[in-house]
Structure 1
Amino acid sequence: MPIEIDAWGQETTAANALAVERLDGAILAYCGMRTDIGDRMKTVFEADPEMPMALAAKGAFLKMFATEKMDAAAAKSAEQLRERLAAGDGTTRERGHLDALAAWVAGDLEGACRAWEALTIDHPRDLLALKLAQLNRFYLGDPAGMRGAIARALYAWDEDAPGYGYLMGSYAFALEEDGAYHEAELKGREAIEIDRTDVWAAHAVAHVMEMQGRVGQGLGWLDHLKSDWDGVHNFKHHAHWHRALFALELGRLDQALEIYDQDVWTEIAGDYLDVSNAASLLWRLEEEGVAVGDRWAPIADLAAERAAEHALVFATGHFAMALAADGRGDDLERLKHAQEAHACTADDTYAQVWQACGRALVGAAEAVRAGRPGRAVDLLAPVRDRVRLIGGSWAQRDLFERLLIDAALADDRRTLARALVSERLERRPGNRFGRDRLGRLSG
């Protein structure tokens, strides 16, 4: 099969240049989190049904859904890619993508990251590999790895390269998660100057403002950009989730609930990230005394449908919170049984993280809702330094720190609660939750 050159100057096995051009467009749509990724991928396969890089991209996009059905489809794509490359065609880069996808399908996130990062040493302009490595480092709770994966490739990029802005937005998020807030904001703003619709870059800057306590600026920043997200897929719900967090931190509880109803939990919600957005926001609102009515029910319905899945402990933890909050005891037991069964028979990343901290997170959420805060503290306090292993951002994992503090207060473990609040306020001096809980301790 002939070799074509893609938009980044990389050799790509393909039947024709049209297939490569269409795949380039699909990769850029993925980076921009656009709604037409699937439609674009269909046109790629119309031009070349067996294109190796298209099979690699398809498998990766399917894996991102983190469902059993899509995982099975991703495994099929990996096998098709393996068969295609076994026929003798294919570049070293394409074989590297096979190694990474095969590891991801097998549940080995670290192995997948190592494969993508190895191929980007020789192919630093492989935007898909750079993005996938960062995504999986994110779900390994490895911000330094996220940062390094992109930093090693920056020398090969300039403003004229397709997707340069998307790379800057990705780098901004990695810098923020690694604590380099000033540099992160600069890169994120640079990406927005290139493309105002870049919701990933917008959210990277919002994370900086969240961590620095610049809540009024954060809400204003996202409000200024939200009209540009019409073509963005459901990740825009997560950007709106950040708007709600800013409103919550400002004490605007009604506004936070309004954002939830209008922009976080919508008629197209259904992804695990939608469930985590909704569950974590409702949990926070209830911590502040807001009555959320029957809003837990549809979230718990989706969580129950996916209770037996084991793609990400991050997702499972939020499924469990929704089930516990809605009183779905039978479904919660089913969830725990499924995860324990997997952990006993598998040695993949999920099983390792479940045993390290996932079991404790789920048990703590269940205990809080059962009126046993002491049990929640006993489970969560010993693993709090390991919670990062579930992945997610500092802002997302903050849910579990708040849970622990409130459980310690409810169980009258004032010394522990004071220590945790002291640590929190040292990192985030103006934090409303921390100041409120300090006031309760002083009262």
Structure 2
Amino acid sequence: MKLDTLIRGGTLVDPVAASLTLSNLGMVDGRVAYIGYGAPEATRVIDATGLYVSPGFIDTHMHDEELDDACTMQRALLLQGVTTAIAGNCGSGPLIDEYLPKRRAPMLKLAYQTGHTVLRKAVGIDDVYRPATAGETEKMQVLLRRELDRGSFGLSFGLEYAPNTSPAEIDALASLLVGRQKRNISVHIRYDGPRCLEGITEVIELARRFKVRLQVSHIGSMTAFGYCAEAVRMVEAAKAEGVDMGFDCYPYDAFCTHIGSAVFDPGFEKRWDKGLPDLEVASGKYKGQRMTPESYADLRANDPTALIIAHVMNDAEIRECLAHPSCAIASDGVLHGGQGHPRAAGTFPRALRILREAGLSWPDAVRHATSLPAAMSWLESGRLVDGSPADVVVFDPAALRDKATFADQLAPPEGVAYVFVDGKLAVEHGACAPTPTGRLLFRQP
């Protein structure tokens, strides 16, 4: 059998066996077809001497709301080694009929959840502070059922963005996932800061009530104000009782969201014991400037979708959270007009470096970006074994590092040599393939 590609001389990273093995790896028709010390005939041979050959990274929490920009976010993720990404988080993201015409040929494997806030808008609810009526909730159920039937990966809530969402509204939608295979609920909890543990309790009870897998989104950005360790302990205690839960985190002590959201309603300073100077404008006419009373008022009134970076979290808590054995790395990447937070371009190399600094081995660190999120989302990828999807990132362990900064938010990382998606060469030394290599992912009804 002639291989499509043989990666020769690299060190194979196995996040499940926690091993590093000098081995060659071959791919045929999008699958791993050879692992060993020989040199089978191949159409393409990659010399990976001195490099690590890892499963492609999996980002279970990113955003893809700007449908007219098909490349910026996907390119930023792909250049880090991300081969599979899941959008539609925090209650946002397009419905299938909206994204399908715009994403027929993605650069990586791309899946979507169905967002609660999007459902609200689709049935005519424009006021984020108003609970849905019973009639509106029934209409949302019809839409959600249709999306799930067509292959949506699940349901996402952004309860901090729709802060008065009622328990009845949540339960009516969550109930539609009961009995469906491989569908989960992800939740941006209702509160950050001092009330965050109330938000954690709410989602634990939701998962317990419906026996549906639930992922707590970017748990660090919600709880790293002195509460992160307790939040993680609560989730782990619930898991020990049989509640099906997980959580993710990104490796920055600053979050990013839209200035017009409820997150920045007056009084936000008290929650974080921080002020306007701790807020950095990430997009629009004030980009790069720290917030002032004048710019705050202007953006809230005239540019509510402008992104704001809030430098308000505790870095030590973020690092501790990332190193927890149950924590998946996820970018929460979001852009507005190609501008935003460096997490869109730097999350995975940065997180892996932090985990190595915390004392994790390379296989253990890589597990947080591969087999762990794969298991959380029932994905076939996440490990390189015979017959597995040929999603591969080849990187230099000594050189891998993020370069994106708050000033240069999309600077690509260093140290990523090659990325393969379904066995197709997607990245070669910082250059993306001219033809998209990905595909859309859907769940079976």
Instruction: With the length of structure 1 as denominator, give the TM-score of the two structures.
Output: 0.28
Query: Greater share of helix residues, 1 or 2?
Result: 1
Tell which has more relative contact order, 1 or 2 (C-alpha 8 A, sep 6+): 2
Instruction: With the length of structure 2 as denominator, give the TM-score of the two structures.
Output: 0.28
Query: Greater share of strand residues, 1 or 2?
Result: 2
